């Protein structure tokens, strides 16, 4: 019996082993056929899988990207960066029961991740990162319990993260970054004891800090940045995750204090908490983390001191505390961090000088300390040791003294930004030896003398900004050497002479701003050679003469043309119609003789048109353009010789002045993202010429004053609901003031003076609660002056020269017999009384919380004479008006303050 049993077992084993090769051959053939079927369904691939062939099925283990076990079954598929384009829907996962590694990263695969991927039960590595997969992460992924490495990073996956992911208790690397994943129920997630790397960054995750992470004690890398997590950082993070080396929670909405228990993360090398809502001080205990190499706490609300204990971090390479509320001096202990290569302290409230101990930072490459309140001189001792420095950003501080010539020793410098300080003296010629320099900005200082000739040898310069100084002399022909220059700004200096023709060699130029100097002669015609890339050409406030150059045949990108304040003559060249990107045209204060350039109404992007103080004349003819001036919102045709009726058709098409949603548009300025140039414009209000150095995109104005327009004011003008300033004064307009003006609910200044207007002042205008300036003088208006709202703040000179008006603030009472009024002054004298000293100019920083708020700001900064109305606003003088008494100045100021608070 025993013999037969042994014999049967022997026969069974023979049968099993004799059939094994055929089983292996069958399995291998199935895998090969599955691979070929998938390949044939791909849209494209590179040469890496051309070796996969139906004629070579038996050798599929030798195919590119395929690794087999000794038994010739596929164990690894590695096709990363193989230019695969297609989906996985035709990939038969059930054909690969022994697969342990599946890497298709860095391809162009798309579509969903199939549910059948859960059949790869032996899988250890799964990497589908850097593709275009979309849809959800299948919960079946939780079946792959042998997985140690899982990466779906940088795809287009969406939906919630399935809690089954936490079933993968052997996973040590979990990467879901760079998708559109949403917040799951974190309470269903298990702790993952083997996990060392967790990357959830750059998704759409919200809620508080996920608690399951606190039960992953072996984490060395945790990155939750670029989501919208909220709340506090749990204290358990600092005790339970003691092995952390990399912690990044940046670009979220975490808040509260930064706990001193952070000192328990003794292995931490990289701390990233930037762009959150942390408050309070940076704890001194941070200095106990002796392995720290990178600290990024930017864009929070940290206050107080920069901890001197940071000086103990001798391995520190990057310290980024930008955009906080730090208000201390820079601690001298920072000079002990001799490994620092990147120091960023910009946009705080730091005071005092640069500590001399910073000279010890001999490896520093990036020094960003701009936008603070730092003072003192830039010591030559500091500069001498920063020989590795590439980026020197000290702009917007209060540094004084001279630019040290030793700056010429820093031969690796690429950026020098010293803008808006109080630096004086000459520009050191040693800057001209910095051959690697890309950006040089010394603007808004007190620098003197000519531009050093060595500057013209910096052939790698991309931008050169020296505006708003006291530089003199000429631009030499050597300017043509700077062939890479894209931004060139010498405005607001005392430069003179001609513009050399060699400037036209700057074929990469995007911004050319030479305004507010004393340049002479004609504008070079050769500028047309570089007009293809030029976005800004600003030559205002110089002494150019001749005609407006006809250089605009290739102006594909010209956005801003400023030629105002010169001595230019002749017509406006029609070639400007080629400049389809034009947003701003300023030709004011020249001697241009022409009819209205109606062909400009077809420019699709034009927003600002200023032709003030020229010799334009004739009637403004009806346009042939179907939708003329569709985006125009600032138009100034004042002080010209126009006749005929007001351009009603244009009013009907000023869509940019109708119903602008200010909340949707936001507080943005024209040109603020255009290199170094901000669009600006001058406006005239009540005789006061204001330079708006920034133009809010919600600012709208129409100024047609000082012409000879005739006829009535059209009712349709009341449709321009977003209009801020309207000036039709000093014309020959007749008829009534249209009551439709009540619809201009944003109007702040209305000037209809010196016309032939008749009838009563419409009482409906009292609804204009933003109105701060009103001038109806020198007309033929009759009847009582309306009362209420802003009308109770206007004074006599708003109504003078209208003999038949009565009521406050005038002394003439309505219905009573009054003695004869004194003779009316001639128009010129009345205007002088009304303007009361408004021939001086001020500069305001920009239209902001209401135009008049900006106006008052400018007057405070630059006032040399005190006009009556301004004194009333600032000093709050009381005025007797008949039997009553009102504080008109205080009321107007109060209104301005209220509007400021509403906007802010």
pLDDT tens sequence across 353-373: 999 999 999 999 999 999 999
- Per residue in 640-677, is it b (16+ CB within 10 Å) or e — as a string? bebeeebbbbbbebbbbbeebeeeeeeeebbbeebbbb
At residue 867 the predicted structure's pLDDT band, cuts being 50, 70 and 90, is very low
CB 273 within 8 A of CB 294: no
pLDDT of 834 above 60: no
pLDDT of 231 above 50: yes
pLDDT tens sequence across 696-706: 777 889 999 99
Kindly state whether residue 728 falls inside one of the protein's structural domains.
yes
Kindly state whether residue 427 falls inside one of the protein's structural domains.
no
Token pair listed for 171: 């996973």
At residue 27 the predicted structure's pLDDT band, cuts being 50, 70 and 90, is low
In the chain, count of helices (H) and strands (E)? 9, 62
pLDDT computed for residue 676 by the predictor: 57
Q: What is the DSSP letter of 206?
A: -
Count of beta carbons in the 10 Å neighbourhood of residue 624: 10
> What does the alpha-carbon distance between residue 152 and residue 164 come to, in Å, rounded to a whole number?
15
Provide Rg for the chain, Cα atoms. 37
> What does the alpha-carbon distance between residue 44 and residue 609 come to, in Å, rounded to a whole number?
53
Q: Which domain holds residue 826?
A: 658-847
Sign of CA dihedral 641, 646, 647, 652: positive
pLDDT tens sequence across 573-612: 988 888 889 999 999 999 999 999 999 988 999 999 999 9
pLDDT tens sequence across 82-128: 999 999 999 999 999 999 999 999 999 999 999 999 999 999 999 99
Kindly state whether residue 23 falls inside one of the protein's structural domains.
no
At residue 870 the predicted structure's pLDDT band, cuts being 50, 70 and 90, is very low
Kindly state whether residue 677 falls inside one of the protein's structural domains.
yes
Q: What average pLDDT does this structure show over 796-810?
A: 89
CB 682 within 8 A of CB 616: no
Q: What average pLDDT does this structure show over 702-714?
A: 95
Kindly state whether residue 36 falls inside one of the protein's structural domains.
no
At residue 53 the predicted structure's pLDDT band, cuts being 50, 70 and 90, is confident
Kindly state whether residue 746 falls inside one of the protein's structural domains.
yes
Q: What average pLDDT does this structure show over 468-491?
A: 94
Kindly state whether residue 842 falls inside one of the protein's structural domains.
yes
pLDDT computed for residue 542 by the predictor: 96
Q: How many domains does the chain have?
A: 1
Reference 352, options 322, 332, 323, 381; nearest CA is: 332
pLDDT tens sequence across 6-18: 455 444 443 444 4
What is this structure's pTM?
0.81
Q: Identify the weakest region by mean pLDDT among 37-51, 325-339, 508-522.
A: 37-51
Tokens 């400023």 found at: 562
- The domain that holds 782 is classified in CATH as 3.80.10.10
> What does the alpha-carbon distance between residue 543 and residue 498 come to, in Å, rounded to a whole number?
10
pLDDT computed for residue 704 by the predictor: 96
At residue 346 the predicted structure's pLDDT band, cuts being 50, 70 and 90, is very high
Kindly state whether residue 764 falls inside one of the protein's structural domains.
yes
CB 610 within 8 A of CB 676: no
pLDDT computed for residue 822 by the predictor: 39
pLDDT tens sequence across 431-451: 999 999 999 999 999 999 999
């Amino acid at each position: 019996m025993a013999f037969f049993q042994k014999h049967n077992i022997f026969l069974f084993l023979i049968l099993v082993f004799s059939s094994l090769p055929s089983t292996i051959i069958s399995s291998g053939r199935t895998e090969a056929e599955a691979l070929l079927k998938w390949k044939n369904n791909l849209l494209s691939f590179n040469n890496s899988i051309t070796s996969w062939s139906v004629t070579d099925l038996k050798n599929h283990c030798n195919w590119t990207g395929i690794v087999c076990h000794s038994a010739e079954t596929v164990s690894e598929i590695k096709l990363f960066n193989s230019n695969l384009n297609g989906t996985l829907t035709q990939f038969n996962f059930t054909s690969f029961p022994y697969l342990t590694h599946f890497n298709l990263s860095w391809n162009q695969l798309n579509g969903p991740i199939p549910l059948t991927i859960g059949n790869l039960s032996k899988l250890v590595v799964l990497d589908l990162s850097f593709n275009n997969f979309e849809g959800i992460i299948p919960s079946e992924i939780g079946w792959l319990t042998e997985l140690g490495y899982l990466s779906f990073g940088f795809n287009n996956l969406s939906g919630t993260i399935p809690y089954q992911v936490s079933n993968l208790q052997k996973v040590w690397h979990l990467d879901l970054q760079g998708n559109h994943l949403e917040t799951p129920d974190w309470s269903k997630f298990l702790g993952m004891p083997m996990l060392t790397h967790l990357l959830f960054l750059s998704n759409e995750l919200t809620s508080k800090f996920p608690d399951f992470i606190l039960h992953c004690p072996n984490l060395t890398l945790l990155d939750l940045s670029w989501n919208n997590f909220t709340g506090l950082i749990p204290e358990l993070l600092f005790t339970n995750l003691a092995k952390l080396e990399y912690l990044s929670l940046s670009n979220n909405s975490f808040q509260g204090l930064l706990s001193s228990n952070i000192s328990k993360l003794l292995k931490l090398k990289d701390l990233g908490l930037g762009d959150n809502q942390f408050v309070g001080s940076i704890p001194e205990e941070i200095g106990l983390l002796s392995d720290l190499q990178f600290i990024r706490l930017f864009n929070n609300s940290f206050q107080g001191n920069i901890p001197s204990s940071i000086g103990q971090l001798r391995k520190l390479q990057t310290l980024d505390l930008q955009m906080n509320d730090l208000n201390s001096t820079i601690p001298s202990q920072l000079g002990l961090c001799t490994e620092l290569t990147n120091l960023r302290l910009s946009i705080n409230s730091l005071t005092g000088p640069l500590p001399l101990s910073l000279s010890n930072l001999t490896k520093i490459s990036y020094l960003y300390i701009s936008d603070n309140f730092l003072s003192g001189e830039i010591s030559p001792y500091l500069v001498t040791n920063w020989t590795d420095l590439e980026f020197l950003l000290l702009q917007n501080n209060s540094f004084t003294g001279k630019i040290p010539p030793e700056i010429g020793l820093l031969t690796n410098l690429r950026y020098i930004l010293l803008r808006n300080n109080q630096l004086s003296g000459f520009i050191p010629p040693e800057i001209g030896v910095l051959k690697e320099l890309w950006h040089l900005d010394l603007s808004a200082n007190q620098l003197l003398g000519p531009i050093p000739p060595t500057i013209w040898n910096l052939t790698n310069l991309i931008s050169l900004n020296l505006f708003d100084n006291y530089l003199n002399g000429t631009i030499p022909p050597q300017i043509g050497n700077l062939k890479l220059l894209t931004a060139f700004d010498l405005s607001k200096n005392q430069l003179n002479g001609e513009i050399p023709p060699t400037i036209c060699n700057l074929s990469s130029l995007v911004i050319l701003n030479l305004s507010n100097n004393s340049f002479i002669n004609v504008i070079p015609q050769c500028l047309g050679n570089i007009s293809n890339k030029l976005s800004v050409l600003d030559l205002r406030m110089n002494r150019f003469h001749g005609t407006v150059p006809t250089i605009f045949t290739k102006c594909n990108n010209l956005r801003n043309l400023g030629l105002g304040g010169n001595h230019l003559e002749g017509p406006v060249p029609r070639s400007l119609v080629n400049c389809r990107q034009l947003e701003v045209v300023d030709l004011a204060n020249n001697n241009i003789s022409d009819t209205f350039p109606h062909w400009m109404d077809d420019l699709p992007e034009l927003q600002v048109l200023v032709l003030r103080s020229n010799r334009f004349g004739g009637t403004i003819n009806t346009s042939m353009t179907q939708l003329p001036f569709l985006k125009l919102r600032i138009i100034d045709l004042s002080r010209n010789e126009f006749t005929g009726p007001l351009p009603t058709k244009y009013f009907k098409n000023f869509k940019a002045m109708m119903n602008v949603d200010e909340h949707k548009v936001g507080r943005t300025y024209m040109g603020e993202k255009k290199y170094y140039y901000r669009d600006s414009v001058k406006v005239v209000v009540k005789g006061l010429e204001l330079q708006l150095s920034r133009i809010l995109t919600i600012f709208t104005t129409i100024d047609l004053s000082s012409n000879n327009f005739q006829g009535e004011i059209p009712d349709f003008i009341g449709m321009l609901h977003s209009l801020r300033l309207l000036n039709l004064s000093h014309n020959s307009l007749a008829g009534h003031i249209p009551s439709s003006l009540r619809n201009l609910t944003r109007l702040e200044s209305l000037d209809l003076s010196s016309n032939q207007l008749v009838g009563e002042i419409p009482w409906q205008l009292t609804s204009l609660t933003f109105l701060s300036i009103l001038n109806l003088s020198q007309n033929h208006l009759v009847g009582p002056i309306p009362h209420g709202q802003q009308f109770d703040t206007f004074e006599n000179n708003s109504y003078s020269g209208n003999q038949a008006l009565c009521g406050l603030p005038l002394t003439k009472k309505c219905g009573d017999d009054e003695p004869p009024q004194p003779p009316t002054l001639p128009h010129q004298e009345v205007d002088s009384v009304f303007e009361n000293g408004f021939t001086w100019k001020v500069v305001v920083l920009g239209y902001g919380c209401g135009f008049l708020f900006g106006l008052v700001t400018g007057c405070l900064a630059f006032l040399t004479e005190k006009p009556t109305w301004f004194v009333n606003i600032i000093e709050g003088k009381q005025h007797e008006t008949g039997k009553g008494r009102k504080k008109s100045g205080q009321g107007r100021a109060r209104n301005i303050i209220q509007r400021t608070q509403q906007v802010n």
